[in-house]
Amino acid sequence: MSQDDELCPCGSGKLYEECCKKEYDRTNAAREKIKQAMSDPKKASELKELLKNLKKED
């Protein structure tokens, strides 16, 4: 989303900045942290193991 003063794409009728922007920013920050961790072989292995264990619990 390029303009914070545009209507939110979620369809709420609110401005993007007042609706979903904070969640979108948090999601992007988490995605970047995961990308950085995946570039470290040890951390990547730990993340893969964690995800594998989560799938077993479902």
* Predicted confidence (pLDDT) per residue in 20-48, tens digit: 999 999 999 999 988 888 888 998 898 88
Phi, psi of 7 (to 5 degrees): -65, 145
Which pLDDT does position 58 carry in this prediction?
A: 63
The model's pTM: 0.61
Which pLDDT does position 55 carry in this prediction?
A: 82
Number of C-beta neighbours around residue 9 at 10 A: 11
Q: Could you tell me how far CA 48 lies from the centroid of its own chain?
A: 17
Encoded tokens for 27? 């999601």
| Alpha-helical segments (H) within 1-58 | 21-38, 41-57
Question: With bands split at pLDDT 50, 70 and 90, how would you rate the model's confidence at 8?
Answer: very high
Which pLDDT does position 47 carry in this prediction?
A: 87
